[in-house]
Every structure is written in structure tokens, then in C-alpha cells.
Structure 1
């Protein structure tokens, strides 16, 4: 997957998180979780763009760790939404799958760059 393709994919993930949250019930707990997941979910794409501008492998690792943390947090909030049954499995499963796939991609990228850094 190219950098540009991943930029598009993470931006789409952000948009789909926003679309999902707009369907959430309007309770105090739902609003709190909605605020959290909108922040973490949109942060994935925004911070990935910063990764693409990294000037060194060390800067890449630092920025990519932030992206990984935000992606993992978003998956956590999706699991909470799913387990609370605030939305249907059909509505959350696609995003859960995408969040897990993105997390795996980021982990793989970090392993590759960390291996390169440790062999220098």
C-alpha cells in the first residue's frame, strides 16, 4: 500500500467514524464516548499526514507511535459502543475491522523501521 493510499484510507476512516457517531443515541454516556471516539478516530488520519512528513526514521517512529495509539484507542471505543449495543453490529463491525487492519499496518511499519534503526 502506498503512502497516498494510506492517507486516503485513514481520512476515509475519520469520515466514517464521524458518520457513525452521528447515529449514536443522545444520552450523557453516549455523548461522552462520542467525544472520545471522534477525537481519536479523526486523529488517526491527521497524525498519519504528519508521519508522511517525517524527516528521519526516529521522527517517523515517534509520530507513527501516536498514530498507532490513536487507532488502538478508536478500536477500544468501537468495542465499547458495540458491547453496549448503542448501535447495531452491522454499523460497527466494518469500522472495527478497518480499525484493526489499520492498527496492524501501523505496527508492521513500526517494526520495519525499528529493525532498520537497530541494525545501524
Structure 2
């Protein structure tokens, strides 16, 4: 399941989060009914974090760089929401979900700070 040590490189962290989310979703998607939709949503948002972070690194302009980082933040928040639903509705064992939720929460914090810094002070 999720790794216990966090890579220092943000690109590697987003990549590892995406991989851990996919592995977790693969297990959860075996459940019947409406629960099957939640892993698809989480996998989509979780992998989008890594994909958009990679795109941000090769942005053509500062504006595009800020925009891509805003998308990363949005997808991190969405991932955190799906994981919160999974935790609250007890759709999976807490020990399996908690590391992903904690990492999503940390990514939200990192990218919130980053986007605020990139946008600069409000006038």
C-alpha cells in the first residue's frame, strides 16, 4: 500500500501519491454499487495532480505555470474530498485510507502556499 517515507522532490511525491491512489482504487473498485464510482473519481483526481505538476514544470510562461499549479491544487482538494468520504462512510479500513488522506492534505497545504506565493500579494 502507500509508502511510509516521503520523497523530498515534489514531482516524486505527486507521482507516488498518484501510484498509491491507483493501487488503493483498484482494491476499492471491487465493491458493488455506488461505491464503485468513488474510486474512479479519486483515481482521476489523484493522477491529475502528478500530470499537471509535470506540465507545470514545462510551462511556456509564468501565467501558464501559475495556472497549472492552480489545477494541481484543485485536484489535490478533490482527492482529499473523496478520501474524506471514504473515511467518513467507512468504505475502507482506516489504516489503508489515512496515509493517502494525510498526504493529500499535505499536498493541499504545499500547493496552497505555492499558489499564493506565485500570485503575489493582493492589491
TM-score between both structures, scaled by the size of structure 2: 0.87
Q: How many residues align?
A: 115
Quick one: which of 111, 115, 118 aligns to 2:116?
A: 111
5+ residue gaps, structure 2, are: 1-7
What stretches of structure 1 move > 6 A for 4+ residues in a row? Answer: none
RMSD across aligned positions (CA): 1.7
Secondary structure class of the residue paired with 1:23: helix
TM-score between both structures, scaled by the size of structure 1: 0.89
Secondary structure class of the residue paired with 2:83: helix
Is the helix fraction higher in 1 or 2? 1
Q: 1:70 corresponds to which residue?
A: 75
Is 1:102–2:107 an aligned residue pair? yes
Q: 1:55 corresponds to which residue?
A: 60
Distance in 2 between the 1:13 and 1:47 partners? 13
**Alpha-carbon deviation of 1:55?**
2.6
Secondary structure class of the residue paired with 1:63: helix
Quick one: which of 36, 40, 44 aligns to 2:45?
A: 40
